[in-house]
Amino acid sequence: MFGMGFTEILLIAIVAILFLGPDKLPEMMVKVAKFMKSVKKAVGDAKGALDEELKISDLKEEAMSYKKQLDSATQELQGFKNIGINPMDDIKEAITSTKDSFASSAKDAEQNTIATQVEPKNEAVTFTKKDSKGDKA
C-alpha cells in the first residue's frame, strides 16, 4: 500500500500507539480513514471531470473537422456554373427562362402564320367489303 512494506506500516503503528496512546488511537484511525476516503473521492471526481472535458474537446474537434469537410464540399459545388446554394433560386430561374422562351416562340408563331385551307367535313362514311378472293363486293 502506497509503496510501503509490512515492516514500515508496523513501525508507523508502533509510533502512533506511543504518541497517541491506546484510548485516542481508534478515533484517529477513523479520522484518517475518513480523510483517505474523501481524498480518494476528490481524486475520482477530478479524474471524471477531466475525462469528460477531454471527451467534449474530442467531440468538438471531430465536429470541426466535419464542418471543414462540409465547407469544402459546398465551395466545390458552388464552383459549378449552374449550381447554387438555394435550389429554389435555380427552379425560379428555370421557370422564368422557360416562360420567356415560350412567349418568344408564341410571338414568332403569330408572325409566321400562313393561312391554310381546311377540307370540309365529310358526313358520309362508306366502307367497302373485300371477298375472300380479294374482289370487292
Spatial separation of the C-alpha atoms in residues 84 and 47, rounded to whole Å: 49
Quick: pLDDT tens for 1-32: 567 788 888 888 888 888 888 788 888 888 88
Phi, psi dihedrals of residue 4, rounded to the nearest 5° = -110, 145
With 90 as the cut, is the pLDDT of residue 125 above it? no
With 60 as the cut, is the pLDDT of residue 126 above it? yes
- Cell numbers describing residue 127: 366502307
**Tell me, what's the pLDDT at 9?**
81
In this prediction the pTM is: 0.37
**Tell me, what's the pLDDT at 47?**
92
**Tell me, what's the pLDDT at 119?**
67
**Tell me, what's the pLDDT at 45?**
93
Instruction: Answer whether residue 99 is part of any domain.
Output: yes
Instruction: Answer whether residue 34 is part of any domain.
Output: yes
Instruction: Answer whether residue 100 is part of any domain.
Output: yes
Spatial separation of the C-alpha atoms in residues 42 and 39, rounded to whole Å: 5
Instruction: Answer whether residue 121 is part of any domain.
Output: no
Domain count, the chain: 1
Instruction: Answer whether residue 31 is part of any domain.
Output: yes
118 pLDDT band, cuts 50/70/90, is low
CA atoms in the 13 A half-sphere facing the CB of 94: 8
46 pLDDT band, cuts 50/70/90, is very high
Instruction: Answer whether residue 47 is part of any domain.
Output: yes
Instruction: Answer whether residue 14 is part of any domain.
Output: yes
Spatial separation of the C-alpha atoms in residues 25 and 11, rounded to whole Å: 15
Range of the domain at 34: 6-104
With 90 as the cut, is the pLDDT of residue 116 above it? no
* Radius of gyration (C-alpha) of the chain in whole angstroms: 49
Quick: pLDDT tens for 52-108: 888 888 888 889 999 999 988 888 877 765 555 666 777 788 888 887 887 777 666
